[in-house]
Structure 1
């Protein structure tokens, strides 16, 4: 039987739920099964706009039926359930992908999991645990990225959210030192500076927080959330002139659409105009 006929037969069988009992690919050679897995996975990608659809999942299931060793298919399959809010199924698949990677000394799936634990599930302890394992396995890559963001930055933010501010500062300062060693200007890493400043602020070391905020704003002045946080500090210190400047600057920037924004997540300290207005009202009352 040709691969084309097997492919058509498999889709039909899957649609009526027969895969629970039989695998129609058992008699094929390994190479043939790999080819089928590729074909089904490409079809699933074509259906990517409907990633939560039944057809997308049939393609993914079919691909894994043909070649269950494809970690990349397992990982991307988890996205279908994650986007549909079926998180138990999503994590079951993602954890399987992580396990498959770790057996081969790889961390790609774990990097995505660490990012998800921090930003999506807000499981800060899990995010820290995942990052620590990644860094242990990738000792030669201390600045390894987790789904596009330096893993140490994820850990620093997780520590901040757990109110472990001294540890957050230590982690983020380590990141800045590593940046210097590879010839990068630490001030380019504005989120690191932001969370070091936030940590000092929470520790009530306001002068140190101000130092970090102002150093960063001297390089990049269009950071709405940084102006907002600095404005609040100056307001608490009764420095009304500087409080007014930074709070109004934050409102001006947000009016232009300049603020923290990510298409898939909400940043922890993303500020909204209503929050700025509350601080401006507090300024008005204190004056």
Structure 2
């Protein structure tokens, strides 16, 4: 039976919402490996043209997985749809399946995405650290593995920061910056790692170290609202009223202009909001 005929029957099943699993299984069993790959990729491509949280996106993706049940990327991408619909239990069930399959093959791509998700979406800091540690164990020769676009150790450092393990976090952040410097990059450019390194020093009340980092960041990016806000808080704690007011007012102005550490998919840990600045300004004015 030709690929076109199989596609036709599967598409009819998808559109009607009928139980098409047995039809799929009976049709693709006689296909060659190359034909299965082609058919599965066809449905994967169809799903990518659909609104990701939609029912049709998931139906097409399910079909691709049914044809190629061992395809890790299809499963991982299917989890995105459920996560964006707010169905997080289902999303994690599917993602965990992808991770298990990937790790069994000695690969870490799905694991990298899970570590990123556990940190930013689910605030599961202990398991974020566990996943990053496994990634580093599986890739000992790769000293700069990235998790969904960010250095995995930076992900781990933020998890340590959220757990209040500030000294450990600082060591991890410094290792990331050292590695980036060895790769020929300017460590100042990693604003996120530097920002949370400064946050750790501030939590440890090592204010001068935190101030130096924030000033270095502001020299590179004067419109870094959160850095101005955090500097204002430090100067407030140091009872340096004028410096505190200056930084807080600058943060307020920058925020009003739309400058903030925002992210479309999750709320950043130390993203600043206008009410926070107003509260700090009020407290500072009473010094």
Q: Calculate the TM-score normalised by the size of structure 2.
A: 0.94
Residue of structure 2 equivalent to 1:5: 5
- Determine which of 41, 45, 66 is the counterpart of 2:44: 41
Deviation sequence 1:187-206 (CA, Å, 0-9, x none): 11111111111111111222
Q: Which runs of 5+ in 1 are unaligned?
A: none
1-structure distance, mates of 2:36, 2:57: 19
Q: Distance between the aligned counterparts of 2:123 and 2:38, measured in 1?
A: 39
Determine the C-alpha separation between the residues in 2 that align with 1:227 and 1:131.
31
Distance, in Å, in 2 between the alignment partners of 1:61 and 1:198 is: 43
Partner of 2:87: 86
Q: Distance in 2 between matches of 1:185 and 1:61?
A: 44
Q: Secondary structure at the match of 1:140?
A: coil
The superposition leaves residues 240-259 of structure 1 with CA deviations (integer Å, 9 ceiling, x where unpaired) of 11111111111111111111
**What does residue 102 of structure 2 align with?**
101
Alignment size in residue pairs: 284
Q: CA 1:32–1:183 in structure 2 vs 1: closer, same or farther (change >3 Å)?
A: closer
Q: Which residue of 1 aligns with 2:237?
A: 236
- Kindly state the Cα deviation for residue 11 of structure 1 after the two structures are TM-superposed: 3.0
CA contact under 8 A between 1:13 and 1:19: conserved in structure 2? no
CA apart distance, 1:20? 6.0
Superposition deviation, residue 100 in structure 1: 1.8
CA distance in 2, matches of 1:217, 1:22: 58
What secondary structure is seen at the aligned counterpart in 1 of 2:265?
coil
1:253 aligned residue: 254
Task: Name the residue aligned to 1:179.
Answer: 180
The 2-side partners of 1:62 and 1:180 are apart by 45
Once residues 106 and 123 of structure 1 are traced to their aligned partners in structure 2, the CA distance between those partners, rounded to angstroms, is: 22
- Kept after mapping to 1: 8 A contact 2:76/2:94: yes
SS of equivalent residue, structure 1 residue 23 = helix
The superposition leaves residues 221-249 of structure 1 with CA deviations (integer Å, 9 ceiling, x where unpaired) of: 21110110110111111111111111111
Question: Following the alignment from structure 1 to structure 2, what is the Cα–Cα distance between the partners of residues 269 and 60?
Answer: 36
Q: How big is the alpha-carbon RMSD for the aligned residues of Structure 1 and Structure 2?
A: 1.5
User: Equivalents in 2 of 1:16, 1:2: separation in Å?
Assistant: 22
The 2-side partners of 1:117 and 1:238 are apart by 38
Is the contact made by 1:115 and 1:127 (CA closer than 8 Å) also made in structure 2?
yes
1:212 matched residue in structure 2: 213
Shift of 1:263: 1.2
**Pair 32,219 (structure 1): closer, same or farther in 2 beyond 3 Å:** closer
Aligned to 1:144: 145
Query: In the superposition, relative to structure 1, how do residues 188 and 26 fare at CA in structure 2: closer, same or farther (>3 Å)?
Result: same
Q: Which moved more, 1:275-284 or 1:25-34?
A: 25-34
Whole-angstrom CA distance in 2 between matches of 1:190 and 1:18: 50
CA distance in 1, matches of 2:8, 2:139: 43
Give ranges in structure 2 of 5+ residues lacking alignment.
Answer: none
Residue 159 (structure 2) pairs with residue 158 (structure 1): yes
Question: 2 CA distance for matches of 1:53 and 1:267?
Answer: 26
Tell me what 1:17 maps to: 19
Map residues 190-209 of structure 1 onto 2, 5 A cutoff.
190-209=191-210
After alignment, is 22-31 or 205-214 more displaced? 22-31
**More displaced, 164-173 or 22-31?**
22-31
